[in-house]
Chains A and B, each alone.
Chain A
Amino acid sequence: MKTRKISVIITLLSLVALLSTACVAPMAAPAADMGGADQPVELSMWYFNWPPGYEYQAERVRIYMDEHPNVTIDFDHSIPPVGEGGFEDKVTSSLATGTAPDIFAVINPQAIKLINKGQLAPIDDEALAGLGFDSVEELKASRLPGAFDSWSAMDGTPYGYHWELSWLVLYCNDEHFRQAGVDPDAVTLETWDDLISVGKQVIEGNPDFYLDDAGNFQRNFIKLPMYFDDTWSMQVLTTFLAQTGGSVLNAERTEATINEPAGVEAVEWMMRVSRELGDPNIGPVIPGEVHAAFGSGEMTCDLAGPWMYEAFLVATESPVLDSGYHAYGMPSIESGKPGNVFWGWAWVVNAASPNKKAAWEFLRFLEADPQGQATASGIWQPLPDIEKGWGAGRVPYADLVAAAADGGQAIFVTGHYAEIARILRGKIEAMAFEGADVQASLDEAAEEIDPVLDGE
């Protein structure tokens, strides 16, 4: 009986202890900077499991540690980006529990959430010194205009140092054009109308490839890479919005404006391209598979970033490299009115890191060879004229790829990005897959978004 009482008491005490710890929010790590000259410094850094990226970074880490024997960098690139957000969720939960590394990569639509929660170190005077700039203005001037927009707080303070800035570029398979009697060198794909016109010509010239016996699509001429993935949906949507002057939210971020005429026009163009040059219901759905379909020669045209050449063609030994392809820049709705999306990954420093100075100094080194980075990983830093360098310049049609960045704008910035993107993605899927009415769908989206913004 006495033993039973002891057992009960021990169990109850354990439960009380657990209850009390359950009520306590995680403690932030101390923020004293340990990065004095020649003092031993241990940095930790995370990137996701994408070999072209982490292999290059790992080599830079190795060189840096050789040159700075007092610095040890624990680089973890094993985190799988399974599904959408695998890496980001790991970062979020580790920040919440005080176990995040000193340095990690953040994709831009998610950055503002972490900035608003005070989890990222700003690029302040100490960071500028570490990165080798005298002022924020000088830092911003060194990158493409607008590059910092979605890695900045509402007051304009930047928080991220770019590893990548991407925009969309139209790539098309030369062989498919030629098989339909269309000369890929002669066509002009300046507008979406041009693309739809040429696309129909290619389909009609080689119907057995694209259509089944009943005249239904069995292959897509192009499929917009935007389904089953919130961020890719927003990338494509932002591109078309940039061309119509539309926006998801008003300037104050208090109300949805996606259902206004410019927003509706943008989405109507997305649907036209999707439905007239293919069937969204067939073929690959997830964006990565859509790019792979272009690489394997299953699809004629694709919208992808400057990394298409290295990451999806060279790395996969794509047959398209042999058959030939063109990059056509980015078609616009109206000729001469370019518009594109900016998104990508930047390196950030944990606000709770005790080694911020050393972290920024290392990041300066990590990003100090943009042409080597472009060659090894296919990832372009957002530097003016990067396409003229020996590394990025190797990419076929590098001038056109670079020119496609004209009119680039960031995906909408709000702390409620994830929720709003999910709503919009759902409506895009209903419109594309099931033919739901554009205006009605966007009205529904606006109705669902407004209550979310009430908490902004």
Chain B
Amino acid sequence: MNKAGRVESAVGIGKSHLAARLWPANWRYHTRMKVIGFLFTLPVLVFFLVFNIYPIISAIIISFFEFDLFGPMTWVGPANYQNLTGNKNFWSAIRVTLSFMLFFGPPAWVIGFLFASLIKDKIIGRFFFRSVFFAPTILSAVAMATAWSLLLRQNGPLNAMLGLSVSWLTKQNSALWGIVIMSIWQGAGWFMVVFLAGLQSIPQTFYEAAAIDGAGRWPLLRHITLPMLRPIFAFVVIHTIIAGMKIFTPMFIMTGGGPNNSTRSMAMLIYHEGLRDLRMGRASAISMVGFVLILILTIIQLRLFRVHEGVEA
């Protein structure tokens, strides 16, 4: 039996009567395989269309309408976008979101990288430490946010431990920091796993060759580890941008966007505009701006890392 025959038999569509009814006789093997492949991916494709593409298309359309969820949609053209330019809540939410990304990302990457570097070697208890460092990532975000709002009280355990008297969550200039600290604690373990996978994929021979040439720890890190991790860095930056743009739960639970809206992120503003104030048009317009922002930031960082399909250019 040739290759085509083996595959067709394997999927039960060989030269049976059923196959004869299903496929036009003049279809060649490759054509049939493509159709079969398409049929196999159809459920996922339908799922993707319904739950991803449809909401995106809906949001684009609704962003040009006035729509309160209950009444008819009224065409307003680009008015929802134009209104955003003079909307101080929108600019405040952009500032909060970008600040969160900036203050959360780099420290979480560094901590995640340090954890990964520490536990990649065969040290005693490394599986225990991996579990401990990773545990916050899999715990309920709501539960963690609730617990941290207790820890971050002015007369709470964190201040007592550090000998500080900071009103983490009640002052406008520190509330976002409180949320950032919680997010770093929760997110560093995830970055650790990503960096660990990257570190373990670097061939040991590179280090051995460099060691023979007399390279110390810093040159090894600078000339082998970091360059080899460039695709990983690109990935974590994109992940941080996307996660940062969607940040919602810590603000919702820990501060409700306060004090005085100083921790209201874009996702939370979208929630307020859409579900609380019933202005789906404006909420959709903000979503679209967020989408474009993610796109721009991702393109910029891809250019910076010069990564194309996972291979350095």
Contacts and interface: CB of A to CB of B under 8 A. Distances in A.
B260 interface: yes
A281 B272 CA distance: 25
Contacts of B46: 14
A367 interface: no
B179 to A, nearest CB: 12
Contact of B259 (A2, A95, A433): A433
Contact of A85 (B45, B54, B275): B275
Contacts of A229: 256
Interface stretch (A146-154, A321-329, A331-339, A418-426): A418-426
B172 A430 contact: yes
Given A85-B276, A426-B259, A433 B171 contact: yes
B167 A433 contact: yes
Contact of A433 (B69, B165, B170): B170
Contacts of A433: 167, 170-172, 259
Nearest to A119: B70
Q: How large is the interface on A (under 10, 10 to 19, 20 to 34, 35 or more residues)?
A: 35 or more
Given A3-B31, A25-B73, A285-B169, A427 B153 contact: no
Contacts of A188: none
A422 B272 contact: yes
A87 B34 CA distance: 47
Interface in A380-429: 416, 418-419, 422, 425-427, 429
B31 A281 contact: no
A453 to B, nearest CB: 13
Given A281-B171, A284-B153, A419 B277 contact: yes
A188 B258 CA distance: 36
Given A18-B53, A23-B61, A283-B155, A117 B259 contact: no
A192 interface: no
Interface string A93-137: 101100000000000000001000111000000000000000000
B256 A228 contact: yes
Contacts of A427: 260
B155 A7 contact: no
Contacts of B149: 285-286
Interface string A193-230: 00000000000000000000000101100000001111
A285 B168 CA distance: 11
B295 to A, nearest CB: 20
Nearest to B65: A23
Contact of B258 (A4, A93, A426): A426
B67 to A, nearest CB: 8
Contact of B256 (A11, A84, A434): A84
Contacts of A186: none
Contacts of B103: none
Interface in B215-267: 252-253, 255-261
A93 B275 CA distance: 8
Contacts of B252: 83
A335 B152 CA distance: 40
Contacts of B61: 19, 22-23
SS of B interface (majority): loop
B291 interface: no
Contacts of A369: none
Could you tell me the dominant secondary structure of chain A's interface residues? Answer: helix
A429 B259 contact: yes
A422 B46 CA distance: 40
Best-surrounded residue of B165, B172, B258 (most CB of chain A within 10 A): B258
Interface in A258-302: 279-286
A430 B38 contact: no
B31 A227 contact: no
A418 B277 contact: yes
Contacts of A37: none
Contact of A118 (B70, B171, B258, B276): B70
B259 A3 contact: no
Nearest to A228: B256
A439 interface: no
Contacts of B169: 285
B43 interface: no
A280 B258 CA distance: 14
B214 interface: no
B71 interface: yes
Contacts of A3: 31, 34-35, 38
Nearest to A230: B256
Nearest to B277: A419
Nearest to A429: B259
A8 B278 CA distance: 37
A7 B37 CA distance: 11
A216 B67 CA distance: 51
A414 to B, nearest CB: 12
A183 to B, nearest CB: 29
B147 interface: no
Given A2-B31, A89-B275, A285-B169, A18 B155 contact: no
B170 A280 contact: yes
Given A22-B61, A427-B260, A96 B69 contact: yes
Contact of A227 (B72, B155, B258): B258
A95 B278 CA distance: 12
Given A7-B34, A434-B171, 17 more contacts: A2-B31, A3-B35, A3-B38, A7-B38, A15-B57, A22-B58, A23-B73, A25-B71, A93-B69, A117-B69, A285-B153, A422-B261, A426-B259, A430-B260, A433-B170, A433-B172, A433-B259
The 5 closest A-B pairs by CB, nearest first: A429-B259, A96-B69, A426-B260, A281-B167, A228-B256
5 contacts: A15-B49, A18-B49, A227-B170, A279-B154, A282-B153
